[in-house]
Copies of this chain bind each other. A is one copy, B any other.
Amino acid sequence: MLVIEGPSGNGIGKSIASSLGCDFLESLHTIFPDGESEVGITAPVEGKDVVIVQSTCPMPDKRLIELVLLANEAKRQKARSICAVVPYLAYSRQDQRFEEKGNAVSIYTILEMLNFAGISTMVTAAPHNSESLKAFNGRMIVADAITPLANEVKKDLSKPFVLAPDKDALYIAKRFAEVLGCGYTYIKKQRNKLTGEVKILEAPKDVDFKDKELVIVDDMISTGGTIVQAAQFAHANGAGRIVAAAVHLVMADGAYERMRGAGVDAVYGTNTIPYDRARAHTVDISDAIAAAIRSKAAPTKA
């Protein structure tokens, strides 16, 4: 097996190669003045099982094209198999069509495109919607990035309680609660099928946040809007310290400031996306990914 770190592998490639005890190669990478990427595989891969590590944030389109180019190059060089480790998979949230809007369900096309490029196995972490990933015409392995993240949060809190900002994040809250040995709940919401708008239907009323250290968990933080909404609710209901934890720190411009402004005391995440370590506690999930590759089977989600 040969692990190739793509231009946005974020060091995970090197770590998993060392963890798996296999060969490692950094891909050739240049960005030309016109904005085009040049990539290349500078060692022969014919007959080899190749693992390409490439996260797809920031610059999702550039990182996806680079992954397609690298995978297709491995295919042309007659690699025996091509596995793509995509710790954060861009376009995962574009998983529904809203009739009024007429938007494309992009994640299906992205998965088909990666498969077309020669990728037969994919490894990712905390997918936004596991159901849509089933459309991938190959093996999809989900590495357990949630447990190491929860373990990191555990170090800092003594009276935790876990809150999922919506039902989709409930499986993450459940796993966190197991690790932290505490209770958990979620906020009921509804998304308008026509417009995509989200409305809070019902907030959890059966729990007492008073004096609790609230851990708001989600698969990703993008603008921070979802976390802010949950934090405001938690504060209004007497929560003490509030922290936010998400596997993928997409962190669009202003996300950190927005959360801090809503009283989020600390942010926890992983290295599926490069992010400022001074602003968030980040956990390396290379071991979880290496374990997923070793097992060649999807770990349980909860």
Contacts and interface: CB of A to CB of B under 8 A. Distances in A.
Contacts of A66: 61
A35 B64 contact: no
Contact of A252 (B33, B70, B112, B222): B33
Nearest to A33: B252
B39 A104 contact: yes
Given A36-B90, A37-B61, A113 B116 contact: yes
A68 B109 contact: yes
Q: How large is the interface on A (under 10, 10 to 19, 20 to 34, 35 or more residues)?
A: 35 or more
Contacts of A34: 57-58, 60, 90, 222, 250, 252
B40 A102 contact: yes
A223 interface: yes
Interface string A82-121: 0000000011011000000111101011001100110000
A40 B99 CA distance: 11
A133 interface: no
A173 to B, nearest CB: 23
A61 B28 CA distance: 18
B106 A69 contact: yes
Contacts of A102: 28, 40-42
A38 interface: yes
A259 to B, nearest CB: 14
B106 A38 contact: yes
A40 B96 CA distance: 12
A104 B222 contact: no
A93 B93 CA distance: 33
Nearest to A255: B33
A32 B250 CA distance: 12
Question: Which of A65, A91, A94 lies at the interface centre, i.e. has the most chain B CB atoms within 10 A of its CB?
Answer: A65
A48 interface: no
Contacts of A73: 104, 109
A7 to B, nearest CB: 12
A40 B104 contact: yes
